[in-house]
Chain A
Amino acid sequence: MHWLRQVYNWLELRLQLQAPVEDAMLHPVPRNTASWWYVFGSAAFTLLMLQIVTGILLAIVYVPSGAHAWDSLNMLNHELPLGWFLRAMHGWGSNFMVAVVLIHMAQVFSFGAYKFPRELTWIVGVFLLLMTLGMAFTGQVLRFDQDSYWGLGIGASILSRVPLVGGPLVDLMLGGPIIAGATLSRFFALHVFVIPGILLVFVAMHVWMVLKLGINEWPMPGRPVKRATYLAEYHKLSHEDGFPFVPGAFWKDLIFSGAVLAAVAVCAAVLGPYGPSGTPDPSIIQTVPKPDFFFLWIYAILAYLPPSLETPFILIAPIVGIAILLALPFYAGEGEKSWHRRPVAILTLALVAVSFGVFTHLATFTPWSPVMDAWSSDTVPTKFLHNLSPVERQGAVIFQAKQCRNCHALGGVGGERGPALDDVATRLTEDQLIRQVLQGGGNMPAYGKNLSPPEVTALVKFLTTLHPPNQVPATNAAGPATAQLEPTSSQTDAAKQ
């Protein structure tokens, strides 16, 4: 092995890397930072490396052209050996990276690690999060399929709401008047050159500061951060109750990173690559576009905002949100780090996490959207058709034919845009049903122009049969009270039981 040593010495004489690398590896860290809670940052870094390697491997085949991108992805999926696996690794790597970055951020927040002197590390971290999300979005665009195409349309529509410069911003984003080849080219440049370039510089700054300022010590209640004394305290802690970063703490980072890489590979091998879905042909409108997992929560919020609030909210809320994240270390740069003494911070984190989960969950089944084919694919359950008069049955036919089912479920099947109608007759009287059908209201279109009077009669007759056998239909409280006094046969049956 003598020659190996010689090569090393030859290189070291010129590179002189040994001293700085030893410094970085052997710098003392507090013993209590060698925790499994401290492994997410390094895992995010490992995933970034994975994304770079798999990204380059994909880039040697992918064609960033509006006319050919989709075909080249299918070629990768079906013709090149293991092309599908690399696409899957890159796609799942992206999901894992966003997830790990978010977990890392939540951990850093709950451990108070953004406090003095690590404010700038946090701020750079906020930009790293934004760039990770930027990579996820531009990456979804490069998968140039229907979801990508209409996702760009949603992006352009949001930008168009910016006052005064909305139009020019859309032109700039699309690279022309429509979503087309020019749009893909610029998103390719963003995904492959611009964002990764900035990302790497910021990662270098982030890691540099972690090395220079030291890993955040395990937070202890009753040991608040004070600007005047913290540096000395940390120095004392890391030197008196510390050990070298390598191997003391680093072995856990290595094992976790390996486990994460293995998890990405298993997901990629078992679940396969993402799409591409249908060809990006704008004249095929039989599509239900949906963003990738980590943007589903935004998709849900956009559905729930009232129209009048929408533009101000989607333009102002992101700026306020980012401003709050950036201002955090200045507002709370000192004080308790322990979660035991920071109830508001921990509750806020829990609220954000629960909201994210709820909105994401809702967006997986989009209760706000009509089910476009419910009217033609889901029949009226037969239990609703027993003992109906001919006109009532005709009403059931109209109920399907007029697409009511796209928004209203029966027997648990159908759209959820409007209320389920299984027991609508217990809520609305016949007159109220007629009014609702003809005039709409409460988020329902008016059907007055699209239904003839006999159709309305039949439809409403059918709707008045929709009540459980043991419950009376709704009656007009202002009318004669006889209906209340004479129980229906079904009600007496129920009472006997």
Chain B
Amino acid sequence: MTDTVKEEQKTTHDDPSAVSRRWMLLKLGVLINAAVGVAVAVPVVRYLLGPIKRKGAYNSWISLGAIDQFPVGETRLATYENPYNHPWDGETAKTACWVRHIDASKFQVFAVNCAHLGCPVRWFPQSGLFMCPCHGGVYYADGSRASGPPERGMFEYQYKVAGNQLHISAGQMPTLATEARSVLPVLNNSKGYGPCTG
């Protein structure tokens, strides 16, 4: 069978104008495919970039529960369901944070994620330190850096007390790029953000 094909190829002699016309048509075919390909692929880039949102767009105000769960002078772990979630997220939709109740209506709410590489830091009330199990980052009770590889203090969520409830603005994993804060108008207090009494 192959021999006959080879014979065929050998004996076919086209005149040059027919050959150049075929090449032209081939180029046209490539061009059409390229055009359709680009037209289809470019919108798909938007599909791929779908998860990217403006800074803070994933955040919303969520309740951590009644403030009397958080005794004054103590730091407690709180868990909330991430406001942006899907049914197939399972347990991973949960997020934990450290709530420090300083006095009456003054709080600090820290992300559990270490500012170094995001591992979960643990609070040690006896020594008043947060310690990270991964690379040994340590923070003081107010979240400022004590020692180890982190180059800054812990990530802090914006919070407000509404009625009897403690709310935080959260929704996105805090990292050095996003931190924990949303880009909502910042209210004025000693730290530059904090309790919204309204």
Contact = CB atoms under 8 A, between A and B. Distances in A.
A119 interface: no
Interface residues of B, number: 61
Interface stretch (A154-162, A198-206, A235-243): A154-162
Contacts of B112: 282, 285
Interface in B79-98: 79, 82, 84-96
Interface in A416-453: 417, 440, 443-447, 449-450
Contacts of A287: 120, 133
Contacts of B185: none
B49 interface: yes
Interface stretch (B16-24, B26-34, B147-155): B147-155
A443 B128 contact: no
B58 interface: yes
Interface in A438-484: 440, 443-447, 449-450
Contacts of A174: 51, 173
Nearest to A64: B88
B109 interface: no
Contact of A156 (B55, B82, B173): B173
A402 interface: yes
Secondary structure of the B side of the interface?
loop
B25 interface: no
Contacts of A172: 48-49, 51-52
Given A149-B92, A179-B92, A370 B177 contact: no
A406 B150 contact: no
Interface in A180-210: 180-183
A153 to B, nearest CB: 4
B175 A156 contact: yes
A293 to B, nearest CB: 17
A171 B52 contact: yes
B178 A167 contact: yes
A281 B124 contact: no
Interface string B109-138: 000110011111110101111011111101
Nearest to A153: B118
Contact of B82 (A153, A180, A311, A440): A180
A332 interface: no
Given A153-B173, A160-B178, A171-B53, A303 B138 contact: no
Given A180-B86, A180-B92, A157 B131 contact: no
A287 B96 CA distance: 13
B175 to A, nearest CB: 3
A227 B51 CA distance: 50
A303 B150 CA distance: 10
B120 A443 contact: no
A402 B134 CA distance: 20
A221 interface: no
A215 to B, nearest CB: 31
A161 B176 contact: yes
Interface stretch (A65-73, A123-131, A318-326): A65-73
A166 B118 CA distance: 15
Contacts of B92: 66-67, 149, 178-181, 183, 280-282
Interface in A143-178: 149-150, 153-154, 156-162, 166-172, 174-178
B72 interface: no
A4 interface: no
B77 interface: yes
Contact of A368 (B117, B121, B135, B177): B135
A478 B150 CA distance: 37
A217 interface: no
Contacts of B128: 449-450
B118 A177 contact: no
B119 A289 contact: yes
Contacts of A444: 147
B158 interface: no
Contacts, number: 217
Contacts of B121: 285
Interface residues of A, number: 73
A292 interface: no
A306 B116 CA distance: 11
Given A160-B177, A279-B91, A178 B96 contact: no
B146 interface: yes
A171 B175 CA distance: 11
Most buried by A among B132, B134, B171: B134
Contact of A67 (B88, B120, B135, B148): B88
B140 interface: yes
A354 interface: no
Given A160-B176, A166-B175, A182-B51, A154 B136 contact: no
A343 interface: no
Given A161-B176, A178-B173, A308 B151 contact: yes
Contacts of B113: 153, 157
A369 interface: yes
Given A170-B177, A285-B77, A402-B126, A178 B147 contact: no
B75 interface: no
Contacts of A307: 149-151
A48 to B, nearest CB: 28
B86 A403 contact: no
Contact of A280 (B91, B96, B151, B171): B91
B149 to A, nearest CB: 6
Contacts of B176: 157, 160-161, 166
A59 interface: no
Contact of A150 (B93, B120, B178): B120
A67 B96 contact: no
Contacts of B77: 283, 285
B118 A154 contact: yes
Interface in B32-67: 48-49, 51-53, 55, 58
B38 to A, nearest CB: 21
Given A67-B87, A299-B134, 6 more contacts: A67-B88, A280-B90, A283-B77, A287-B120, A299-B135, A417-B136
17 contacts: A13-B1, A66-B93, A67-B89, A149-B92, A157-B175, A161-B177, A176-B51, A177-B53, A178-B84, A281-B94, A289-B134, A302-B117, A305-B149, A370-B131, A402-B126, A417-B136, A450-B127
